[in-house]
Structures are given as structure tokens and as C-alpha cells.
Amino acid sequence: MGERRLVVGAAIVRGARVLAARRTTPPEAAGRWELPGGKVEPGERPADALEREIAEELGCVIEVSAWLSGASVIDDHLELRVAVARLVDGEPEPREHDRLTWVGADGLDGPGGLDWMVADRPFLPELRHVLRTAETEQHRGVLRAVLFDEDDATEVQRRLRADGYEARLERERLAGEDDDEDHPWAVLTDAPQLLVEVLVDEHDGWLDDDTVASAAQPVAPLELPSGPRRIKRPGAHS
Ligand SMILES: Nc1nc2c([nH]c(=O)n2[C@H]2C[C@H](O)[C@@H](COP(=O)(O)OP(=O)(O)OP(=O)(O)O)O2)c(=O)[nH]1
């Protein structure tokens, strides 16, 4: 027997919750929760396979941020890897699943938690950690400024730090397969939203949706978006 074929699952994280999907087939898996995804085609990169499967199954666009560690055996022929991903366009709709749910660290598993596919369970502790980190950042009012160029990101970071705020750089695709120029930079900061908005504006970036709606409230009575959306995203990048 050769190597097991790879199945990839997406832990799509928004705010501090992850999207879980309930299977309908085969009968023994119906009613069990999984991370949406599917089989990687021969010659296909796992991140591309995942983005393709999500478009097919959920009708939305994601971007892989980082792979969780390890792989989990599904059966003699298949093994599962899981990536943390961010929703970049559209809203997930179930096309092949009978239910979708956004679940936080506390609702992942354990009493009252979801009944996951067996192969997914080894990923839950690390996933819980990812969600807890996201929760902490939300509570601290951390904003995420996204910029296309490293120079812009570094400059925004420098200016925020010069003003006494914390500012940390992150690459949008952290541990993906490739590292080409398409992947933007993010600056995570505890600076006030207005200041961050001014800086991203100067550097052709935008403020990410996830963080704004929840984080901005304690900072200032601004006009807040009622639903998740991106604030000032350039239409195309040059
Ligand atoms: N997508 C996905 N599949 C999982 C997970 N956990 C798990 O055991 N599996 C199993 C169920 C299936 O046996 C297999 C993936 O099959 P699939 O039916 O979702 O994949 P696919 O869309 O590429 O299907 P196919 O039509 O090519 O057969 O992996 C999970 O979290 N996500």
C-alpha cells in the first residue's frame, strides 16, 4: 500500500469562533461535525485544494493562514490535515452539509460540545488554543491593519510604536506552502481605531473586519459596522 491520500479541512476562524459543518454522508458519518474541505487532487497544492473545496461546498472565498501541526489518520487510504483560514469574500452557505455553526473555544467539544468526526478530534486542543488567543486579542481591543508591502507594514508598525502602542507584524499566510508576494502583511495593534485608520489610509491598506466590530466599541463611540465587513479595501492591488 502506498501513502495515504491527503484530505484537507479548513478551520475558518472569524472573531473568536470557528465554522463547523455537519455531514450528511455516508450514513455512518451523517450527523457528525467536520471542518469543511475534501481530498487533494494529484499535483494540487493542499492550500489550493482547500480554497477550491470551500468555494464548491460553501460558496465563499477563504485564505489559508497556517496549518495546524500533525496529520490524523482517517482510514487505510486517507489522512487529514487542518489549516486555519480566514474568510475573505462571501458568506458560507451549506451546499453539501445540512448545518453550519460558528463555535467558540468553549463549545468545541466536551459536555454540550459538537460530535466531531473521529479524525478531527486530535486537532481540537490546538484549535481551542487558536480561538482562545483570538478571544484575548478581541478583549484587548487589538486591531488588524492589512498592508500589501512589507515596507508599508514596517512603517505603520514603527509609527505606532513611536506613539507608545504595541504593534506586531504578521504575514497573512504564515505556514502555507508558498510565500509569494501576493500575501499581505498584517500589523496587530492596541492603538485606537482612528489612528490606525489614518495610517492604513496613508499606506493603501485597510482595517480588517473581524477585529473592528468587537474591538472598537470600548474605544470610542464611532459609527460601527453592524455586520462583519472590511473597511476600505482597495479594489485591486497594483
Ligand atoms: N472534508 C473533510 N473530510 C473529513 C474530515 N474528517 C474526516 O474524517 N473526513 C473524511 C470524510 C471522508 O471520508 C473524507 C473526505 O471526503 P469528502 O467526501 O469530504 O471529500 P471530497 O469532497 O473530495 O469527496 P469526493 O467526492 O472526491 O469523494 O475525509 C473533515 O474534517 N473534513
Ligand 1 neighbours by CB, cut-off 6 Å: 7, 9, 34-35, 37-39, 74, 78, 80, 117, 119-120
Smallest CA separation from ligand 1 atom 21, residue: 38
- If one residue of 7, 28, 75 were mutated to test the ligand 1 pocket, choosing by the most ligand atoms within 8 A of its CB, it would be 7
DSSP 3-state of 175 = coil
Residues paired with 80 in a beta bridge: 7, 72
Smallest CA separation from ligand 1 atom 24, residue: 38
pLDDT of residue 175: 45
CB 145 within 8 A of CB 232: no
Smallest CA separation from ligand 1 atom 10, residue: 74
Instruction: Report how far ligand 1's centroid is from the alpha carbon of 237 (Å).
Output: 34
Residue-by-residue pLDDT tens, the chain, 238 positions = 568 999 999 999 998 999 999 999 999 999 999 999 999 999 999 999 999 999 999 999 999 999 999 999 999 999 999 999 999 999 999 999 999 999 999 999 988 899 999 999 999 999 999 999 999 888 888 999 999 999 999 999 999 999 999 999 988 654 444 555 568 899 999 999 989 999 999 999 999 866 554 443 333 333 344 444 444 445 444 4
Instruction: Report how far ligand 1's centroid is from the alpha carbon of 25 (Å).
Output: 10
Smallest CA separation from ligand 1 atom 22, residue: 38
Where would I find the beta strands (DSSP E) of the chain? Answer: 5-14, 17-22, 33-34, 37-39, 61-67, 72-73, 78-89, 99-104, 143-147, 167-171, 185-189, 206-207
pLDDT of residue 196: 95
Instruction: Report how far ligand 1's centroid is from the alpha carbon of 39 (Å).
Output: 6
